[in-house]
Amino acid sequence: MKGIQAGRKLGDEMARLTGVENIKHKGGAIGAFTIRR
């Protein structure tokens, strides 16, 4: 949340947290949190 509050985009923060670039085309933020790997 700190990154979002600092003005960074959700996609950029999700890429940083998950290591997945362009995550919106690969399940999105919700998919990253709900899919078991």
Kindly report the number of other CB atoms within 10 A of residue 23's CB atom: 20
For residue 3, tell me if it sits in a domain. no
Give mean pLDDT, residues 2-21: 88
Please count the structural domains in the chain.
Answer: 1
pLDDT for position 35: 65
Q: Which ranges in the chain belong to alpha helices (H)? A: 2-5, 10-18, 28-34
For residue 1, tell me if it sits in a domain. no
Q: Give the pTM.
A: 0.60
The Cα–Cα gap between 16 and 35 comes to 18
The parent domain of residue 21 ranges over: 9-36
Give mean pLDDT, residues 1-21: 88
Is 15:21 a contact under the CB 8 Å cutoff? yes
For residue 2, tell me if it sits in a domain. no
For residue 4, tell me if it sits in a domain. no
The Cα–Cα gap between 19 and 5 comes to 20
For residue 17, tell me if it sits in a domain. yes
